[in-house]
Amino acid sequence: RLRVDMEDFEGNTRYADYGLFKVADESVNYRLTVGQYTGNAGDSMAVHNGMEFSTRDADHDRDNAKSCAVAYTSAWWYNSCLFTNPNGQYYYTNPSPFLKGIIWYYWRNDDYSMKRMEIKIRPVA
């Protein structure tokens, strides 16, 4: 189970909860399986479902023109490229540079960097 809690700079909070969350092993580049969304932040993780983990030196995204991990300065399960970027750069002011901040697209769009984002993982018995 995965839960993401976030807060914007105006003090508003939202959450996204996923009943299905799995990360596969190294043989498939830590492929992400995520689903069963509930919450009030919007399902920004859906586009990342089935993606392999990308870093600066291991480009596994679907963007043929660039490495998303390099372009957006963080490792993540990029598609081409992102609807959320919890590992993005922290910005104190908004709007932030396009997709480079701590992004949750379906709540605050692609140029708003969150004040706070927490990712919590709980094992399912």
Q: Where are the domains of the chain?
A: 2-121
Which pLDDT value is given to residue 33?
A: 98
d(C-alpha 78, C-alpha 55), whole Å:
9
Which pLDDT value is given to residue 51?
A: 97
d(C-alpha 111, C-alpha 105), whole Å:
8
Which pLDDT value is given to residue 71?
A: 92
Q: Which fold has domain 2-121?
A: Gamma Fibrinogen; Chain A, domain 1 (3.90.215)
Binned at pLDDT 50, 70 and 90, residue 95 comes out as confident
**Count of residues in the chain:** 125
Which pLDDT value is given to residue 96?
A: 80
Mean pLDDT for 12-35 is 98
Sheet holding 13-23, edge to edge: 32-39, 13-23, 2-7, 116-121
Contacts 24+ apart (CB under 8 A), 26-29: 28/52, 29/53, 29/58, 29/60
Which pLDDT value is given to residue 124?
A: 75
